[in-house]
């Protein structure tokens, strides 16, 4: 064997070892090993996962004969593989953070008002909704009804509802900082004390962050419809979320949804009507509800009306 071929084989062997180390693969079977059907199935599953992660299914085979390979390329592949694995395991979100710049007023709101109205919550913690408003141990003999609004946008409709119902407390949930800052300013300007604000993933909060039967009402107005079929898995209204809302609502509590996207309205109606062991459609099975007076027109609703979209309200009562 000449020196050139020997160096090429050594280089290829080193690349394969580094690649297998980074990918966490087990040692390859000996050349005379019998390949079992289960091995083929495992390999197929691995290749499918790699394809979904944007990696070539033939990566484990190493460089093709005669191709030059650099050990540095294999070393660099380690972070790429780790990132791909993280992407596979990452939970599906119903939102994408596309934030604009904060105004000077919104920046001031975060500095000066968050400690008054904001709630710092981390997944794994359980909030006591009554204690958020009492400033101390809640008076359980006279609990106040609490509404959770998921995705309050710029907060104007939430502030309007809170001002109109001082006997009720409101928890507003939003991930976009400009909207949160805008609501904080509204709370300060209007002197409202019955609103608390969280920046968190609604699904995580519903599933682990609230005690059972701790809310009187949950509101979900004009969530992202994710209209493309391949994105339907990102819609927040899913059977698991419906069950999580039922868990945190008291018996007789209300789940109120609204959308100006008719296909999404039909999706919501199907999801909630199918959960008839948990919820009762206040308008009757298969029916939408008229907009109640206590729900003010939102920015999204006004925009939808200008575009000729029909707005659908869905109101369900917890059984």
Question: Which residues are designated catalytic?
Answer: 224
Give the β-pairing of 146-150 and 169-173: parallel
Q: Please report, to the nearest 10 degrees, the dihedral formed by the alpha carbons of residues 213, 214, 219, 223 taken in order.
A: -90
DSSP conformation letters of the chain: --HHHHHHHHHHHHHHHHHHHHHTPPPPPPTTPPPPHHHHHHHHHHHHHHHHTT--TTGGG-SPTT----HHHHHHHHHHHHHHHHHHHSPPPS------PPPHHHHHHHHHTHHHHB----TT----HHHHHHSSS--TTSPPPEEEEE--TTSHHHHHHHHH-TTSEEEEE---HHHHHHHHHHHHHHT--SEEEE-S-HHHIIIIIS-TT-EEEEEEES-----SGGGGGG-S--HHHHHHHHHHEEEEEEEEEEES-HHHHHHHHHHHHHTTTTEEETT-TT-PBPPPTTSPPPHHHHHHHHTTPPPEEEEEEE-
On whether the CB atoms of residues 188 and 158 are closer than 8 A, the answer is no
Rounded Cα distance between 64 and 211, Å, is: 57
């Amino acid at each position: 064997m000449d020196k050139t071929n020997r160096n090429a084989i050594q280089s290829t062997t080193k690349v394969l070892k580094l690649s297998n180390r980074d990918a966490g693969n087990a040692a390859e079977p000996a050349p005379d090993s019998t390949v079992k059907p289960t091995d083929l199935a495992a390999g197929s599953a691995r290749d499918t996962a790699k394809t979904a992660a944007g990696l070539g299914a033939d990566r484990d085979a190493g460089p093709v004969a005669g191709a030059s390979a650099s050990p540095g390329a294999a070393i660099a592949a380690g972070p790429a593989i780790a990132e791909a694995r993280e992407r596979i395991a990452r939970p599906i979100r119903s939102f994408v953070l596309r934030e604009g710049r904060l105004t000077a007023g919104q920046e001031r709101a975060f500095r000066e008002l968050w400690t008054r109205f904001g709630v710092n919550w981390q997944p794994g913690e359980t909030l006591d909704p009554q204690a958020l408003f009492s400033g101390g141990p809640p008076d359980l003999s006279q609990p106040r009804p609490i509404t959770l609004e998921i995705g309050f946008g710029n907060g104007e409709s939430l502030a309007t509802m809170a001002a109109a119902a001082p006997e009720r407390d409101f928890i507003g949930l939003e991930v976009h900082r400009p909207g949160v800052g805008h609501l904080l300013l509204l709370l300060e300007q209007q002197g409202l004390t019955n609103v608390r604000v969280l920046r968190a993933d609604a699904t995580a909060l519903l599933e682990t962050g609230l005690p059972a039967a701790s809310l009187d009402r949950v509101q979900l107005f004009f969530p992202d419809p994710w209209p493309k079929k391949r994105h339907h898995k990102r819609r927040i209204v899913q059977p698991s979320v419906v069950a999580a809302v039922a868990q945190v609502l008291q018996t007789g509590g209300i789940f109120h949804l609204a959308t100006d996207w008719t296909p999404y309205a039909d999706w919501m109606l199907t999801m909630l009507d199918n959960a008839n062991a948990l919820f009762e459609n206040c308008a009757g099975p298969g029916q939408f509800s008229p907009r109640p007076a206590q729900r003010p027109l939102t920015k999204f609703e006004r925009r939808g009306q200008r575009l000729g979209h029909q707005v659908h309200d869905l109101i369900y009562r917890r059984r």
